[in-house]
A and B are shown apart, each in its own frame.
Chain A
């Protein structure tokens, strides 16, 4: 079955440190991939997406993600995190078979001073 896996349930980083959130997908073909952020009690905001082309994609709020076909990964990165980045992050893949988004289980990011 097609799936999206986020191995890290919770990550804590210091403010100003770099960040990498992991996402792996299991699909027959290269899916369309997304990263969303959810602040407490809020809906989801699209950070970035990958459909094709350049495997390093830039998003909003200083985030970027790199698609690696050989590793079936689409990891999210930020060189220097800010306290306001504390939130839940979801990786998602578009399923061409049923035309729906499949979400990973999310990674909760905590920022410490």
Chain B
């Protein structure tokens, strides 16, 4: 149990375009989901906390207008990278909170902006 999926797994887009990444909890409902960013050979950096039915909470330094998060249902959160630039290229990982303190992670999305 506790499966979290992400789609797409890889995406390449041109600079200036927008990309949407989906995160789904497949076998449980998640009021809270998290979005992380991971640079090569580095740890995960929390970008934002996504709560179903309310606005996301962004970490300091994360541009909320660039990284749009929507958590429209108890099983789906989306991250949209708007007007993407090469420096946005990264590995994006979501997680879903099934029980308090326990996050289950998706397989990640590799974004490359050319």
Q: Which residues of A contact B (CB under 8 A)?
A: 32, 36, 41-46, 49, 51, 90, 94, 100-101, 103-106, 108
Contacts and interface: CB of A to CB of B under 8 A. Distances in A.
Interface residues of B, number: 21
A106 B108 contact: no
Interface string B73-96: 000000000000000000101010
The A interface is mostly helix, strand or loop, or mixed, namely: strand
A43 B105 contact: yes
Interface string B39-78: 0011110100100000000000000000000000000000
B108 A41 contact: yes
B105 A90 contact: no
A49 B6 CA distance: 24
Given A41-B108, A41-B110, A43-B93, A90 B102 contact: no
Interface of B: 4, 6, 34, 41-44, 46, 49, 91, 93, 95, 101-108, 110
The residue in B42, B43, B102, B107 that gathers the most chain A C-beta atoms within 10 A of its C-beta is: B43
For the complex of A and B, the 5 pairs showing the least CB-CB separation, nearest first, are: A43-B105, A44-B105, A43-B107, A103-B43, A43-B108
Nearest to A36: B105
Given A43-B107, A108-B41, 6 more contacts: A42-B108, A44-B44, A44-B105, A90-B43, A101-B34, A103-B43
